[in-house]
């Protein structure tokens, strides 16, 4: 028997049972209420306070909310709603402000008539924020007066602040006998509202946790979209208001913004504006708004006015549905779902109902237009991925007391919502897409063609994937005959060079290492996939062969682990035509093999522009210097002149890769130990959005914006920049 075993207390009695009172449970297990004690939880506190103000806006009593990140790390949220009631609570016999802020399940969201719908933690949020704050000050404007109550880690009392103003470290005196709601000022009689100022408790939260300005901006903007007519201001009083993007903001000659910074959001178009904001690509359809409602009955505990207790009763719930959606030319899907303005990243019954209604409408339309779409009985059925390709949608529902899967409300669980949302989508979207108006018929036709093209692309991509994987000699024989493959099957070391023209191919075959370097020649300029339809893309021999050789499929079915090469390298001439071909290839990779780009597996070779032949070397041997720009050329020539070295004139300028012999091509462009490659990648979501915009501008169908771009930039272009 060990010493440890000897010390175990085998007695287990009533004294071993701990009862956590008041807000102690929250402080003991904060993750149960806010998800984490890191940055995520820190932001969650802000959202809970803001959501209480938003509930006032949803009820029609508030039209402005201001969120302030204080310089000392505190947060202040102000609204012009009705204000928390300031009279004594009839059953608790203490100020209602204290009841709301200190009792977990106290609020106006339990069927008492205060709110029809609400976000937040349903009466838990305010008290949870209070429990996890080192200090909280609540001020209420009502009836011509400003009332105040202060709390220290959830306990009501008063702080003795000095001349420097409110400080969570100020001396605190807790109320001992009874709580007092102090009157601290006067306001106009018609003015009302609530201000909550708090400092998150450093005993609870990680020292590394800090507010992200960008995330708070995103949340404020999102809320403004979802509540039309509501103005939300975000003020950051910290030293550097722009956070992570401060350096970027100052990149164009302006100093990064310091000190207080305010952004204000208001969107009267609601979910339609939200979808237009989120959509990353050119439109196939206009943005459509689908609205409706439905009812369902459920048995829930309701507060009985006479007894003051909860009793089980069957109540009728009304679900309001508001959906905005549009299809774009791309294949990426972005569906954002919300319940009472609370984002549900895990989806739930409202999102599944939306997808269900969507599938019913589109399948029905495809079947009724099968002849025009050239669909036959042999064609596979339309699947969800075909319909969702290129879709941007915002799905919102509002209902009293929604049931979520988990305290942090990431997934809606109320089962009746699925059928209601599906019915609204089926009815409203069917009416729009089935309209006999000429413009709408044209738009519907484009959408159906896109859905069918996505189905065929999916089938073709799956077939490509199956036939392109190199597992044995027989399978390898199905690859394009012009592919000069490598011997190694180790993806980590293999490289695919896409070579411009047969002339460069011949030289590249001699210059490469056949062990790990494969060559695929292309003839001139490939198809611009940004402007082409999916059907045209699949018919194009060059594009089809590139997809086949890479071996991972395309579009939504692209499977990165199936890619046959670790690097895909575009090796084109260092001229205008070569740059154009690179751009066309990049458009293909970005549109249909995007994970390759995102993982940094696409490269551009950097061939030299000049070769300087230097004479008078050791033993009279000639030496060669390669340069990659005009500036580098002139710099090398000046070095040689200062050193008294002679060089042969004229300087050789390469017009294409075909002018190099195998040794020169290997030395400058293909040998991993001596070459230079430019990696193509996207670092973050912002870079992705910028790339989407650039590809659409430069490679899309609209000529006018591209012409405007060229005209605006022409003044900044000179010969030196072109040559570089």
pLDDT digits (tens, 9 = 90+) for 562-591: 899 999 999 988 878 888 888 889 888 988
What pLDDT band is residue 206 in, cutting at 50, 70 and 90? very high
The residue with greater pLDDT, 472 or 667, is 667
Q: What is the pLDDT of residue 17?
A: 59
Written as six digits, the tokens of 717 are 């272009």
Q: Which helix (H) or strand (E) holds 288?
A: strand 288-303
CB 322 within 8 A of CB 284: no
Instruction: At 138, give phi and psi (nearest 5°).
Output: -115, 125
CB 91 within 8 A of CB 215: no
Distance CA 323, CA 410 (A): 19
Nearest to 627 by CA among 661, 660, 658, 652: 652
488-512: pLDDT as tens digits: 989 999 999 999 877 778 888 999 9
Q: Which of 485, 500, 545, 667 is catalytic?
A: 500
Q: What is the pLDDT of residue 76?
A: 96
Instruction: Provide the CB-side half-sphere exposure for 196 (13 A, CA).
Output: 28
Q: What is the pLDDT of residue 53?
A: 92
Tokens 């012999």 label which residue? 661
What's the mean per-residue pLDDT of the chain?
A: 83
Instruction: At 243, give phi and psi (nearest 5°).
Output: 55, -130
List % helix, strand, coil for the chain (3-state, nearest 5).
Answer: 35, 20, 40
Q: Is 405 tagged catalytic?
A: no
CB 127 within 8 A of CB 104: yes
Could you tell me what percent of the chain has a pLDDT over 70?
A: 82
Is the pLDDT assigned to residue 118 strictly greater than 50? no
Q: What is the pLDDT of residue 392?
A: 96
Q: Is 671 tagged catalytic?
A: no
Written as six digits, the tokens of 603 are 């490269």
What pLDDT band is residue 255 in, cutting at 50, 70 and 90? very low
Angle, CA of 79, 83 and 84, to the nearest 5°: 125
Nearest to 136 by CA among 123, 125, 121, 120: 125
Buried b (16+ CB within 10 A) or exposed e, 526-557: bbbbbebebeebbebebbbbbbbbbbbbbbbb
Q: Is 712 tagged catalytic?
A: no
Q: What is the pLDDT of residue 200?
A: 94
Beta bridge pairs of residue 152: 155
Residue 175 CB neighbours (<10 A): 15
Is the pLDDT assigned to residue 455 strictly greater than 50? yes
Q: What is the pLDDT of residue 34?
A: 84
Q: Which of 276, 405, 575, 671 is catalytic?
A: 575
Q: What is the pLDDT of residue 614?
A: 86
CB-neighbour burial class of residue 161 (10 A; exposed 0-12, middle 13-18, buried 19+)? middle
Q: What is the pLDDT of residue 428?
A: 96
The residue with greater pLDDT, 254 or 148, is 148
Rg, Å, the chain Cα set: 33
What pLDDT band is residue 308 in, cutting at 50, 70 and 90? low
Nearest to 192 by CA among 374, 367, 56: 56
CB-neighbour burial class of residue 381 (10 A; exposed 0-12, middle 13-18, buried 19+)? exposed
Is the pLDDT assigned to residue 443 strictly greater than 50? yes
450: helix, strand or coil: helix
Q: What sign does the CA torsion over 263, 264, 268, 271 have?
A: positive
Range from 418-432, 445-459, 526-540 carrying the lowest mean pLDDT: 526-540
173-196: pLDDT as tens digits: 999 888 999 999 999 999 999 999
Bond into 650 cis (ω within 30): yes
Is the pLDDT assigned to residue 620 strictly greater than 80? no
Distance CA 469, CA 461 (A): 12
Written as six digits, the tokens of 493 are 């070391």
Q: Which of 573, 636, 692, 696 is catalytic?
A: 573
Q: Which of 92, 214, 490, 577 is catalytic?
A: 577
Is the pLDDT assigned to residue 6 strictly greater than 70? no
Average confidence (pLDDT) over 694-721: 67
Instruction: Tell me the residue length of the chain.
Output: 724
For every residue of 236-260, DSSP letters joined together read E-SSBTTGGGHHHHTTTSPPPPBS-
Q: What sign does the CA torsion over 653, 658, 659, 663 have?
A: positive
Range from 23-37, 75-89, 214-228 carrying the lowest mean pLDDT: 23-37
What pLDDT band is residue 474 in, cutting at 50, 70 and 90? very low
CB 696 within 8 A of CB 705: no
Is the pLDDT assigned to residue 710 strictly greater than 80? no
Beta strand spans in 61-121 (E): 64-69, 75-79
CB 72 within 8 A of CB 245: no
Is the pLDDT assigned to residue 704 strictly greater than 80? no
Is the pLDDT assigned to residue 248 strictly greater than 60? no
What pLDDT band is residue 702 in, cutting at 50, 70 and 90? low
647: helix, strand or coil: strand
For every residue of 358-415, DSSP letters joined together read HHHHHHHHHHHTTTTTT--TTSPPP-HHHHHTTEEEEEEEE-SS--BSSTT--SB--T
Q: Is 500 tagged catalytic?
A: yes
| Residue 524 φ/ψ region, left for φ over 0, alpha for ψ in the -120 to 50 degree band, beta for the rest | left
Average confidence (pLDDT) over 373-401: 90
Average confidence (pLDDT) over 47-63: 91
Q: What is the pLDDT of residue 358?
A: 96
Range from 113-122, 145-154, 230-239, 548-557 carrying the lowest mean pLDDT: 113-122
Q: What is the pLDDT of residue 249?
A: 41
Instruction: At 251, give phi and psi (nearest 5°).
Output: -70, -20
Model pTM above 0.85 = no
Range from 7-16, 30-39, 214-223, 714-723 carrying the lowest mean pLDDT: 714-723
Range from 10-14, 210-214, 385-389 carrying the lowest mean pLDDT: 10-14
Q: What is the pLDDT of residue 408?
A: 61
Written as six digits, the tokens of 117 are 């719908």
Q: What is the pLDDT of residue 23?
A: 81
Is the pLDDT assigned to residue 426 strictly greater than 80? yes
């Amino acid at each position: 028997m060990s010493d440890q075993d000897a010390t175990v207390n085998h007695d287990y009695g009533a004294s071993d049972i701990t009862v956590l009172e008041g807000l102690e449970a929250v402080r003991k297990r904060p993750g149960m209420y806010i998800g984490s004690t890191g940055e995520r939880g820190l932001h969650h506190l802000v959202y809970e306070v803001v959501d209480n103000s938003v509930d006032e806006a949803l009820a029609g009593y508030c039209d402005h909310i201001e969120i302030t990140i204080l310089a000392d790390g505190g947060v202040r949220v102000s609204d012009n709603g009705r204000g928390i009631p300031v009279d004594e609570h009839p059953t608790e016999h203490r100020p209602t402000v204290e009841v709301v802020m200190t009792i977990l399940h106290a609020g106006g969201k339990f069927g008492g008539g205060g709110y029809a719908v609400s976000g937040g933690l349903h009466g838990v949020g305010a008290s949870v924020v209070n429990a996890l704050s080192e200090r909280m000050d609540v001020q209420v404007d009502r009836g011509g007066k400003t009332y105040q109550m202060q709390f220290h880690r959830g306990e009501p009392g008063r702080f003795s602040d000095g001349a420097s103003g409110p400080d969570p470290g100020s001396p605190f005196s807790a109320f001992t006998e009874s709580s007092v709601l102090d009157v601290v000022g006067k306001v106009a009689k018609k003015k009302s509202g609530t201000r909550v100022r708090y400092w998150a408790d450093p005993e609870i939260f990680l020292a590394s946790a800090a507010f992200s300005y960008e995330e708070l901006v995103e949340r404020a903007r999102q809320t403004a979209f979802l509540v039309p007519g509501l103005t939300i201001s975000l003020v950051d009083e910290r030293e550097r208001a722009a956070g992570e993007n401060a350096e970027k903001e100052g990149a164009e000659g302006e100093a990064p913004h310091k000190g207080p910074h305010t952004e204000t959001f208001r969107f009267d178009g609601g979910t339609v504006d939200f979808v237009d904001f989120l959509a990353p690509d050119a439109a196939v359809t206009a943005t459509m708004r689908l609205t409706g409602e439905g009812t369902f009955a459920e048995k829930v505990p309701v507060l009985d006015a006479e007894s003051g207790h909860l009793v089980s009763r069957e109540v009728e719930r009304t679900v309001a549905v508001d959906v905005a959606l549009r299809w774009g030319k791309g294949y990426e899907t972005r569906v954002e779902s919300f319940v009472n303005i609370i984002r549900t990243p895990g989806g739930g019954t409202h999102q599944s109902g939306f997808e269900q209604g969507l599938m019913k409408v589109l399948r029905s339309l495809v079947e009724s237009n099968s002849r025009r779409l050239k669909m036959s009985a042999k064609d596979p059925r339309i699947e969800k991925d075909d319909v969702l390709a290129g879709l941007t949608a915002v799905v919102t529902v509002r209902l009293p007391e929604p049931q979520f899967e988990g305290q942090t409300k990431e997934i809606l669980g109320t089962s009746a919502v699925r059928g209601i949302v599906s019915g609204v989508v089926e009815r409203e979207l069917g009416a729009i897409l089935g309209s006999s108006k000429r413009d709408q018929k044209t738009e519907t036709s484009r959408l159906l063609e896109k859905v069918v093209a996505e189905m065929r692309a999916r089938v073709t991509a799956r077939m490509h994937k199956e036939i392109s994987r190199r597992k044995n000699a027989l399978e390898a024989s199905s690859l394009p005959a012009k592919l000069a493959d490598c011997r190694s099957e180790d993806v980590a070391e293999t490289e695919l060079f896409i070579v411009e023209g047969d002339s460069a191919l011949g030289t590249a075959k001699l210059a490469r290492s056949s062990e790990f370097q494969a060559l695929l020649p292309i003839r001139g300029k490939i198809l611009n996939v940004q402007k082409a339809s999916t059907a045209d893309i699949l018919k194009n021999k060059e594009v089809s062969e590139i997809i086949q050789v890479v071996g991972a499929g395309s579009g939504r079915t692209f499977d990165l682990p199936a890619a046959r090469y670790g690097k895909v390298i575009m090796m084109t001439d260092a001229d205008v035509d070569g740059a154009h071909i690179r751009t066309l290839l990049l458009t293909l990779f970005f549109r249909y093999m995007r994970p390759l780009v995102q993982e940094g597996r696409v490269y551009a070779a950097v061939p030299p522009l000049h070769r300087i032949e230097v004479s008078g070397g050791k033993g009279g041997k000639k030496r060669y210097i390669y340069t990659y720009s005009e500036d580098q050329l002139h710099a090398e020539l000046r070095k040689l002149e200062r050193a008294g070295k002679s060089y042969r004139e004229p300087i050789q300028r390469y017009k294409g890769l075909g002018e190099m012999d195998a040794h020169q091509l290997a030395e400058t462009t293909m040998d991993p130990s001596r070459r230079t490659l430019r990696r193509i990648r996207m670092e973050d979501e912002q870079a992705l959005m910028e790339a989407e915009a650039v590809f659409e501008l430069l490679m899309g169908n609209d000529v006018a914006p591209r012409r405007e771009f060229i005209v605006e930039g022409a003044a900044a272009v000179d010969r030196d920049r072109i040559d570089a």
